[in-house]
Chain A
Amino acid sequence: MTLWSSLGGSAQSNAAREPARRPGIGTTLGRIGLAMSVAFGALAAGAGYWQVFQASELSSAPDDAAVIAASRRVVRGEITDRDGERLAWSVEDENGEPYRVYLSRSLSGVVGYASRTYGTAGLERAFDAELSGVTAADPVQDLLKKFRADPSDPQALRTTLVASLQQAAVGALGDDSGAVVMADPRTGEVLVLASTPIYDASAIADPATSTATFQALAADDVGRPLLPRATQGRYVPGSVFKIVTAIAALGSGAVDATTTFEQQPAAEEDGLLVSGFRIRDGHHPRTGTRALDFIEATEVSCNIWYALAGLETGGDRLVDWAGQLGFGAALPFDLPTAVSQVTGGDGPAPGGFLDDVELANAAFGQGETFVTPLQMALATSAVANDGVIMRPHLALAFSGKAGTTTISPEEWRRVMPARIADQITAAMVEAVNGDLGVGYTTGAQAPGLTVAGKSGTAELGGEGEPNSWFIGFAPADDPQVVIAVVVEHGGRGAARAAPIAGSLLAAWKAWAGQ
């Protein structure tokens, strides 16, 4: 302040000649000086934005030059599963340059690969900066390491994965394309993130076989083995989406667990008329002409009841509640995720639906609805964990020279009260174990566990078998694991996905009981 006032003062002789109403040169010079100070202050703020606020994100991004350079010459940290089994480690070629080796092909969809020629994918890509030692997981360590003689500090990554369950999941999917997600709903720790078909990541990483392997994989646009389906596959959900509709309908109060719809039994015979369009559903032989309540409708997977519940909820609220579960945006996950959607979103009706027909169809998962398996696992987690979704994650701990940084569980969203979650749990228990559900989801039962779940048969339109879905969790009274299974063209949910879930939940029980 004193600076500029002194400038003004020194120009008194000039100002004397000026008309009083215009500022003299001394004054305008002072103002210009102030303006330039503000402008350079803005530059400093801009530098601060990139060098402080954006620093860690940009400098640890997989396409950062330092990350790329380091990934070529540094011996990367090992990746292990939660019990310490090595999933990925480095060996040296004849020139003494390191390259990666992987425990099993079953990990390809989650661990990915790190190749000198073809870059990185999966966890190798997401944590490239940490694994190659460009960034530490702890910002204070990151600042301090500049003062060490050798600032490179590759971190070992301990993941939340269970190698044996991952292998079991890939084995259960067999030759089919599909995905399995298993996670602990109490912590958000992902135990299994399987995607088939699998590929040989070691062959991509090995300089001797790299080119041939990668080009063959990239050229396969039928099986598309390089697509990590659990996080980036977008599938028609079919009836498993009814759990999302149930969360929206019960959570918003549009319906309650005792709601019945008078027109539902008749509509099973000749279709439900919505805006002049008839929505048809098969008849549920065991329920006669009874109007079903929420639990019964879930047990027999009644499309008509869910269409009516969806209409009662309305497009706006359905999209909003799905958004709470993670729809409409990338998920806050360690790996990049595709965006799940309830509707295409550009229609004139509330929520972006085209009309009530699309809304009614979406309510049972057959509209313009597309989901990732991880998204369905998250929605299931909300039910299993009393309405609270924990942030899903794969990284459990990083350890390097400077010690170990542990990633703690963190709450992501509180979606609904525990009371609503309990009502949906009850319906999902009946869907797997109830008398009416027999023949739909029985395969998901696992010895010694009470499984809650929902199957789905996602019609794809046209020819071809539907996608087979199952989502669920166990034990129902104290949920410790959620599971989402999708088998492409696997047929009815009961046929493929539910038995896979049953066998994997049994395998989980064996692992957890150790």
Chain B
Amino acid sequence: MTLTAAPRIHPRLRRRELGLLVIAGLALAVGSMTLELTRRLAAGDEVATEPGLPFANPAALAIYLGAVFAAHAILVLTGRRTDEVLLPTVGLLGGISLLLMERLPQDLAGGLGLGTTQLVWLTTSIAVITAIAAFIRSDAWLRLYKYTWAAFGVGLLLLTFVLGREVNGQRLTLAIGPFSGQPSELLKVILVVFLAGYLSENRALLVEQSTRLGPIRLPPLPYLAPMVAMWAIALSVVVFQRDLGAALLFFAVFLLLLYVTTGRASFVALGLVAFAAGGAVLYEIVPHVRTRVDIWLDPFATASGAGYQVVQALHAFARGGILGTGLGAGLPEVGSLPPGGIPALHTDFPLAALGEEMGLIGVMAILGLYLVVIERGLRIAASAADDFRAILAAGLSLVIGVQAFIIAAGVLKLIPLTGITLPFISYGGSSLLTNGLVVGLLIALSDRGVGPPPPPTAQRGLRRVFDRGAA
């Protein structure tokens, strides 16, 4: 990474970002008051007699909002002409997460407790966004070393296979010394970086050439290799790690980026056929996959057994109705033991808890926030200076969007449920830090400053030759 010389920095006001942040801050303050008033009503306290404004855990909210506004201030001071919508959007999502985690039983996480731990990770995530958005000005470190990154990613995956700690029957967590995390979260970013490098480099070939197999036009066979590799990696992640969600995410983002690059729907169709075939085989041979699909087809058949989690989530949505029960007025037992407890509520099912307390309008608002992230990301991609940046920005925004879609659709029984986090809302450090990295990169990529595109590399030169040849 290169830091630009100090004299070029001129503070630049970000009025739109400030306005949106104020709105988000007010919304979170109102949410916090709702939580506290609901708690006092339930406890039978006299609302009026307690001194001060009724905020639930005002210190936590103040620290979080302080971090978000500090991020805004740093972006103003560094004066870059970057996106002003992503930070408030993500800030609101994170704030909703904070309110939810403050409200759930605190013993769901050890140590500091659920709410405080999440606050630490949220502020760290905001710090990551800020650092990357403010200071990263070159993408050469990503562009030049894509195979290094890919090797790093595969190594991480192998390391998890071998050393991973098994939690809930899934080998997802890698612990080195006191640090532990879920490498699949970081892997999705590495994947996007690699794909952006590979696809932008081979774009002309992928667009132009075909291998004819009778009436079927296949992608050029040599360049099919990464596709097959991706397919194999996705399936092996399913088989060895039993991580359906990550596999689905990797493959979906890969297909979407392939389409973005080539504009050839036949590639996507081919990928879907391969995915369906792989899925059908996995359904037959991997019991875990079969269980998930069977639960999806009829969770109510096993409402007190395998389908319990899904059915309880649907009940939670139903209880919320259109307007919701109000923050804090959902089931008090939520998250703990039955009845009413949804296992893994804070990691996999936060949308169900929010659906109960904020209702359909709340769910639609949250879905809308994710759509804003996707739309801003695609906008950044469309106005990017070159193919690499365009594909990178598209991939980063799609990683968040598709991940949100997969878990939301699973919780709403539109697709089989796969355990994966809801970006910026689910509890967990790996997820928050990685998604902070993603959003930070997106903001950095959106820079419309005067800096020229990065210098051409040897690979770009080679590509020019190819381009000329094709034309």
Q: Chain A residues in contact with chain B, CB under 8 A?
A: 3, 7-8, 10-11, 14, 17-19, 22-33, 36-37, 39-40, 42-44, 46-52, 54-59, 61, 63-66, 68-69, 142-143, 146, 149, 151
Contact = CB atoms under 8 A, between A and B. Distances in A.
A47 B355 contact: yes
Interface residues of B, number: 64
B371 A59 contact: no
B414 A46 contact: yes
B263 A33 contact: no
A36 B324 CA distance: 26
Contact of A146 (B208, B264, B326): B326
A50 B383 contact: no
Nearest to A63: B303
A395 B55 CA distance: 45
A61 B315 contact: yes
Interface string B343-382: 0000000000001000110011001101100110011011
B412 interface: yes
B183 interface: no
A278 to B, nearest CB: 45
Contacts of B261: 25, 28
Given A7-B382, A65-B339, A59 B326 contact: no
B390 A54 contact: no
7 contacts: A14-B387, A26-B382, A28-B260, A32-B259, A36-B405, A40-B367, A46-B414
Contacts of A59: 315, 318-319, 321
B207 A69 contact: no
A63 B319 CA distance: 12
A56 B470 CA distance: 62
B317 A33 contact: no
Contact of B41 (A17, A19, A149): A149
A29 B394 contact: yes
Interface string B316-354: 111111111110010111000011110000000000000
A47 B405 CA distance: 12
A369 B264 CA distance: 61
A3 B316 CA distance: 35
B14 interface: no
- Highest count of chain A CB atoms <10 Å: which of B315, B340, B371, B383: B315
A22 B263 contact: yes
A22 B323 contact: no
A37 B332 CA distance: 34
A305 to B, nearest CB: 46
A30 B394 CA distance: 11
B318 A25 contact: no
The majority secondary structure among interface residues of chain A is helix
Given A25-B382, A32-B259, A58-B314, 20 more contacts: A14-B390, A17-B467, A22-B262, A22-B264, A25-B381, A28-B263, A29-B260, A40-B374, A42-B409, A43-B409, A43-B412, A44-B367, A47-B367, A52-B321, A56-B318, A64-B315, A64-B319, A65-B331, A66-B340, A69-B333
A14 B204 CA distance: 12
B467 A32 contact: no
Interface in B166-215: 207-208
B467 A44 contact: no
B80 to A, nearest CB: 19
Nearest to B364: A44
A47 B317 CA distance: 7
A55 B318 contact: yes
A3 B372 CA distance: 12
B398 interface: yes
A290 B26 CA distance: 92
Contacts of A48: 360
Contact of A58 (B315, B408, B414): B315
B260 A51 contact: no
A47 B339 contact: no
B381 A44 contact: no
A25 B392 CA distance: 12
A43 B405 contact: yes
Contacts of B339: 65, 68-69
Given A14-B387, A22-B264, A66-B340, A47 B364 contact: yes
Contact of B340 (A40, A58, A68): A68
A23 B367 contact: no
A28 B322 contact: no
B325 to A, nearest CB: 7
A37 B321 contact: no
Contacts of B382: 7-8, 10-11, 25-26, 29-30
B378 A32 contact: yes
A267 to B, nearest CB: 49
Nearest to A72: B339
Contacts of A58: 314-315, 317-319
A44 B321 contact: no
B77 interface: no
A39 B338 CA distance: 33
A11 B359 CA distance: 39
Contact of A44 (B262, B315, B363): B363
B318 A51 contact: yes
B82 interface: no
